[in-house]
Amino acid sequence: MSQYYPIFIDLQTLPVLVVGGGGVALRKVQTLLHHQALVRIVSPRLVPELQKLIDGKTCSWVEKEYSAEDIQDAMLVFSCTEIESVNAQVSEDAKVHHRCVNVVDDPEKCSFIVPSIMEQGDLKIAVSTGGSSPIVARQVRAELEDLYGPEMAEYLALLKTWRQKAKSDLPLEKRSVFWNRVTDGEVRNLIKAGHLIQAKGVVEQCFLSLLD
Ligand SMILES: C[C@@]1(CC(=O)O)c2cc3[nH]c(cc4nc(cc5[nH]c(cc(n2)[C@H]1CCC(=O)O)[C@@](C)(CC(=O)O)[C@@H]5CCC(=O)O)C(CC(=O)O)=C4CCC(=O)O)c(CCC(=O)O)c3CC(=O)O
Ligand SMILES: NC(=O)C1=CN([C@@H]2O[C@H](COP(=O)(O)OP(=O)(O)OC[C@H]3O[C@@H](n4cnc5c(N)ncnc54)[C@H](O)[C@@H]3O)[C@@H](O)[C@H]2O)C=CC1
């Protein structure tokens, strides 16, 4: 089994090809569009939910069976058909053109796999079992959703507003004291309990106390 290397990619400028238009393609396309990819679907048929996502701009549909020239400029390729020989061909073509390819029913033909993703504002956790059990990846993701609630989004948004100020106004060693103090649990707990104004006050007090 491959040792998959996890990265977070900005998909906004990356054309993505999805081959197939069934339930699995739908799941992949939904995640891709959420991450602002430019999606082109090649498939003779689409399930109705996928049809609704076609807008001709961020998500387009080429109504035909796959052939090698469909790879075009796609950097990421997803093969989601139910036909093994088609999936194998897509994988082979993508690899010849040095593109990253995901084949839904065969990890051996993948050069990347898709993790289970949880998000709370700027917190994003991607879970993988390396293909051993996608269901377990989903279950771990659900456990993480219980652990990290909506307070994480507010907490990170608050910390982000201080990043530039801390960088410009505090010397390195005080910056480290500042970040350790504001992330020691109190601020997060205050936000979790609904006391956002107090939380902001604690951060501000801490910052002021460290100014020369
Ligand atoms: C290797 C990988 C390749 C890839 O697709 O990238 C792969 C492969 C396969 N999945 C299969 C089945 C299912 N997969 C799901 C769901 C998800 N599968 C995802 C990822 C991955 N699936 C990659 C590995 C991830 C890892 O482990 O690190 C998730 C995380 C992300 C996503 O797809 O968006 C998403 C959960 C998202 C979430 O809810 O958070 C469900 C539905 C469910 O669980 O509800 C079922 C039906 C139940 C079942 O059959 O298990 C089968 C068997 C097909 C068969 O038997 O015919 C194979 C093929 C095989 O294993 O050989
Ligand atoms: N990785 C995963 O998470 C999972 C993978 N699977 C596997 O994924 C495969 C697809 O599952 P579903 O979407 O449910 O199947 P589906 O049968 O609903 O969809 C397959 C799609 O592929 C299209 N297609 C067929 N031949 C094509 C060709 N030559 N060129 C382009 N498109 C073509 C069909 O028109 C259809 O839209 C199945 O083989 C299944 O075993 C199933 C569940 C989960």
Q: Is 44 in the pocket of ligand 2 (CB under 6 A)?
A: yes
Last residue of a domain, one of 148, 172, 200: 148
What is the number of domains present in the chain?
Answer: 3
96 and 157 together in one domain: no
pLDDT (mean) for 13-41:
96
Does residue 60 contact residue 39 with C-beta atoms inside 8 Å? yes
Is residue 53 domain-resident? Answer: yes
Last residue of a domain, one of 62, 97, 113: 113
50 and 102 together in one domain: yes
Is residue 7 domain-resident? Answer: no
pLDDT (mean) for 129-142:
96
167 and 83 together in one domain: no
Question: What DSSP string describes 187-208?
Answer: HHHHHHTT-HHHHHHHHHHHHH
Task: Enter the pTM of the model.
Answer: 0.92
109 and 123 together in one domain: no
69 and 28 together in one domain: yes
Indicate the pairing of strand 38-42 with strand 15-19: parallel
Q: Compute the chain's Rg from CA coordinates.
A: 22
Last residue of a domain, one of 89, 113, 137: 113
Digit-coded pLDDT (tens) for 78-109: 999 999 999 999 999 999 999 999 999 888 89
Percent of the chain with pLDDT over 70: 100
Q: How far apart are CA 177 and CA 137, in angstroms?
A: 36
For residue 205, pLDDT beyond 90: yes
Give the residue, by CA position, lying nearest to ligand 1 atom 60.
105
Q: Is 68 in the pocket of ligand 2 (CB under 6 A)?
A: no
The structure tokens listed for 181 are 């103090």
Q: For residue 131, how far is its CA from the centre of ligand 1 (angstroms)?
A: 8
- CATH, residue 41: 3.40.50.720
The ipTM is 0.92
**144 compared with 1, residue with greater pLDDT:** 144
Is residue 195 domain-resident? Answer: yes
45 and 121 together in one domain: no
25 and 95 together in one domain: yes
Terminal-residue alpha carbon distance, the chain: 55
Q: Is 182 in the pocket of ligand 2 (CB under 6 A)?
A: no
Q: Which domain holds residue 60?
A: 15-113
Is residue 20 domain-resident? Answer: yes
pLDDT (mean) for 58-63:
97
Q: For residue 8, how far is its CA from the centre of ligand 2 (angstroms)?
A: 26
Q: For residue 206, how far is its CA from the centre of ligand 1 (angstroms)?
A: 46
156 and 181 together in one domain: yes
Is residue 179 domain-resident? Answer: yes
Q: Is 138 in the pocket of ligand 2 (CB under 6 A)?
A: no
Is residue 8 domain-resident? Answer: no
Does residue 191 contact residue 158 with C-beta atoms inside 8 Å? yes
Is residue 131 domain-resident? Answer: yes
- CATH, residue 137: 3.30.160
In the block, which residue shows the tokens 């054309």? 15
3-state helix, strand, coil in the chain (%, to 5): 50, 15, 35
Is residue 1 domain-resident? Answer: no
